Each structure stands twice: as C-alpha cells, then as structure tokens.
Amino acid sequence: MKTLALIVAILMFCVAGNAQNRMLGFGFGGGIAIPTDDAADYSKIGFDGFVNGMLSFSSSFNAGVILGYASFPSKMVDTLNLPNTVVRAFLLRGAYTFTSEQRIHPYIAAFGGLYHTKINKCLTVTGNEVVSVNITDSSYGYGVEAGVRRGHLSVGVAYHVVGFDFKYVLVNVGYSLFFKIR
C-alpha cells in the first residue's frame, strides 16, 4: 500500500507539472452519516466530518486525499447501551467537475483507501440472552460520490463500502479554498 501511495503521489505531481491551471486546495466539512445494509440493523443515523487536500490538474479534474471520521450511535437492545460505531478513513480521491457557463457545477468522484472501523453491536444468542460484540478492524474500501459546487461551497452524497461488512452513505456540505501554485 505504501508503494502504491508513493506511485500515485509521483504521478499526480508529474501530471500537475504539465497542467496550465495548477491550483492547490484545502477543504473541510461534515454532515450526516446513514448506515445501510447490515449496518442499519445495529446502528442509527450519525454524523461525519472531513478535511481534504486537492491538486487541480485542469479546470475539470482534481485529485487528492481525504481524512474522514464518521460516528454512528448504536441501537439499544434490551438494557445494553453500547458505545458508538466509529469509522476513520484515509482515502485517495479523484473528482471530475462538469464545467459550464452556469454558476452551479455538478461533479462526480471516486475514492479508495484505508478504513479503520470500531463496530459495536448486540447479538441475541438464545431466547432472552443478549451479548454485545466489539469488532475493531482495518481494511481497504472504496466508494463513489456525486454532488454540486457553487464557488467555495459543495453539497454531495457519497456511498462507502468498507470491506464486506460495513456500508454507509454520507450527505455532506463542504467548504474549499484554492490557491494558485507555480
């Protein structure tokens, strides 16, 4: 994974060296996190936050890294009140923005990387017996995103797949600043 990240970083800077409109961007934001599939059985809607760094290769394409955090409250079973399920992500992301003369620009993005999850759930073993389970795991995952940008603000919906055991949707609002580099 370290070798792959190094190769991607070198390619990004090589391509950026040939770009005419080189811009370096930083952003942050947050929103709501919605568990899907099996994760919805033991988690409720939570919140998320992120920071990112981007390098624009053209007016339409940028790539970079995202550091994300999502927290999902656990559903209570009987009298067990479990800690939140937490997901931390370090992702490489590429985004394509559809440019036009209008002020609102739609975009699509794909990302992948390392997710660290701490999942808390309850299991019914036999009849009335309930057992809590705490699973901590680091695995690779991926996802897609679609949204719109206007100026420095963006609104997007992203679908994350963490390994095979945790899937969730993020609805985010973000703010980004771009700086011209030489």
64-101: pLDDT as tens digits = 999 999 998 887 766 667 778 889 999 999 999 887 67
Burial of 79-111, coded b for 16+ CB within 10 Å and e otherwise, reads eeebebbbbebebbbbbebeeeeeeebebebeb
Per-residue pLDDT of the chain (182 residues; tens, 9 = 90+): 555 455 555 555 554 445 456 788 899 999 999 998 877 777 889 999 999 999 988 878 889 999 999 998 887 766 667 778 889 999 999 999 887 677 889 999 999 999 998 887 666 656 666 666 677 788 899 999 999 999 889 999 999 998 767 899 999 999 999 888 76
pLDDT at 80: 67
| CA–CA dist 41, 75 (Å, integer) | 8
pLDDT at 16: 47
50, burial (CB in 10 Å: exposed 0-12, middle 13-18, buried 19+): buried
pLDDT at 163: 78
Q: Which CATH architecture has domain 1-180?
A: Beta Barrel (2.40)
Amino acid code (one letter) for 86: V
pLDDT at 91: 93
- Domain locations along the chain: 1-180
| CA–CA dist 134, 85 (Å, integer) | 9
pLDDT at 13: 53
| CA–CA dist 67, 54 (Å, integer) | 12
The pTM score is: 0.79
| CA–CA dist 52, 13 (Å, integer) | 17
Please give the C-alpha separations between residue 61 and each of 116, 129, 178, in angstroms, as whole numbers: 28, 54, 13
| CA–CA dist 174, 103 (Å, integer) | 17
